[in-house]
Amino acid sequence: MIAQVPKAGVGNAAGRMLVRGLGRALRALAMLYCLGLVILAALWLAGIQGIGLLDLANIFALYLFAPLVLIAPLAWLVRARWLRAAAVLALLAGVALFGPLLIPPSVRTTSGAPLRVATVNLHYELAAAQLPGLLGVIRAQRADVVLLQELSPSAADLIRRELSADYPHQALEPSTSFDGLGVLSRYAIETLPHTEPLAAQLLRVRMPAADVMLMNVSLASPEVKRRRLPLVGWVPGMRYDVGKRSRDIDRLLREVAALDGPLVIAGDFNMSDRERDYQRMAARLHDTYRETNWGLGATFPNRPPFPLIRIDYVWGSGPAVPAATQVICGGASDHCMLVADMQVGAT
């Protein structure tokens, strides 16, 4: 009589083989993920830019590293030496990329006339019922000047009615699209002509102690376009195009070079602080948030659970230097507000 292997034993053996195979596959995927992060970090740290998808991934680099929170401890629980090594390398790459953001800047002692600047994108599609709450957030900051982007006609009308007592000097240029701009000021202002074609306002603010030039900016958004791939055809989302914005920044920097004295530039730049265009700006101007604060400083989108990237900025030039900054995420706009305390005529 021939003995038969119990079916349960065969099933258990097959199950164990399946689990082991799945475990090996997951470890291999985790190791490839960690090594991929290391390669990306090396490219970014080497300053390699201008490759569309690489640049787009760089904007959200921090979130690409988020799974390491789970993978790194699990690597120590499994007997996989290579996975542990890959996880350590990925963690070191993350520290190299983002560690400097966690270091508070050194305290700078300056003297000059104080000027509080607030910038906020109003999101021109806001319903009329949402605007009063947003204006309340603006008023609560007690800023000396407020720079507005995406200013709609209905928002401009409400501002004239509700904020004229707080801000008697106004330069409002509303629009039914994304390009409406406005400036509110406690001090007298003078609108000035541009030397370059820019979607911006240029004004002189006449403070009691000194005049300061003010530029309110709304730059072109990058475009995520399709690209034709060999043997595949047109594939959407394969091309990250910042050409329009880069040309805007060319014009902006030329105009800045032609201006003398203290200058504050603020607005919606549609640019993260991990892009080449940001580096061009930071090489010429004071990034008020980065020079006075630590952390991401993310301003967009103003939605739960938290903003993801920083695209709203206040910059200083010449004897207009930052003393403090804060990000305010109240109101119904899709952007958080950035408030910067400046010292004008600082020494």
pLDDT, tens digit, 9 for 90 and up, residues 161-171? 999 999 999 99
Average pLDDT over residues 268-276: 96
195: left (phi over 0), alpha (psi -120 to 50) or beta: alpha
Parallel/antiparallel/unpaired status of strands 320-328 and 337-344: antiparallel
Residue with tokens 């403090």: 324
The answer to whether the beta carbons of residues 184 and 160 sit under 8 Å apart is: no
Integer Cα distance of 139 and 66 in angstroms: 37
Give tens-digit pLDDT for 134-154: 999 999 999 999 999 999 999
Is residue 5 pLDDT above 70, yes or no?
A: no
Parallel/antiparallel/unpaired status of strands 145-149 and 113-121: parallel
DSSP letter for 304, please: S
DSSP letter for 129, please: G
User: Which residues is 341 bridged to in the sheet?
Assistant: 116, 324
Average pLDDT over residues 55-72: 94
Q: What is the greatest pairwise CA distance in the chain? A: 109
The answer to whether the beta carbons of residues 145 and 214 sit under 8 Å apart is: yes
Residue 248 CB-density burial (10 A; 0-12 exposed, 13-18 middle, 19+ buried): buried
Q: Which token pair is 63?
A: 């979130």
Q: Categorize the per-residue pLDDT at 75 as very low, low, confident or very high, splitting at 50, 70 and 90.
A: confident
Is residue 322 pLDDT above 90, yes or no?
A: yes
Q: Categorize the per-residue pLDDT at 106 as very low, low, confident or very high, splitting at 50, 70 and 90.
A: confident
Per this entry, what is the length of the chain? 347
List alpha helices for 260-309, DSSP H.
276-282, 288-292
Measured between alpha carbons, how far is residue 261 from residues 69, 111, 191, 207, 281 in Å?
48, 16, 16, 13, 18
Is residue 284 pLDDT above 80, yes or no?
A: yes
Query: H or E segment at 269?
Result: none
pLDDT at 233 (0 to 100): 60
Percentage of the chain beyond pLDDT 70 is 92
pLDDT at 189 (0 to 100): 98
Is residue 48 pLDDT above 70, yes or no?
A: yes
Residue 212 CB-density burial (10 A; 0-12 exposed, 13-18 middle, 19+ buried): buried
Q: Which CATH number is 113-344 given?
A: 3.60.10.10
Q: Residue 128 carries which side chain, given as an amino acid letter?
A: A
Residue with tokens 């032609």: 258
pLDDT at 7 (0 to 100): 56
Q: Categorize the per-residue pLDDT at 304 as very low, low, confident or very high, splitting at 50, 70 and 90.
A: confident
233: left (phi over 0), alpha (psi -120 to 50) or beta: left
Residue 196 CB-density burial (10 A; 0-12 exposed, 13-18 middle, 19+ buried): middle
Integer Cα distance of 241 and 103 in angstroms: 32
Domain boundaries along the sequence of the chain: 9-102, 113-344
List alpha helices for 274-344, DSSP H.
276-282, 288-292
Phi, psi of 117 (to 5 degrees): -115, 130
Give tens-digit pLDDT for 214-260: 999 999 999 876 666 566 566 655 678 899 999 999 999 999 999 99
pLDDT at 6 (0 to 100): 54
Average pLDDT over residues 54-81: 91
pLDDT at 198 (0 to 100): 87
Mean of the per-residue pLDDT values of the chain: 90
Q: ω into residue 168 within 30 of 0, thus cis? A: no
User: Which residues is 225 bridged to in the sheet?
Assistant: 239
The answer to whether the beta carbons of residues 293 and 106 sit under 8 Å apart is: no
Percentage of the chain beyond pLDDT 90 is 70
pLDDT at 231 (0 to 100): 63
User: Which residues is 340 bridged to in the sheet?
Assistant: 117, 325
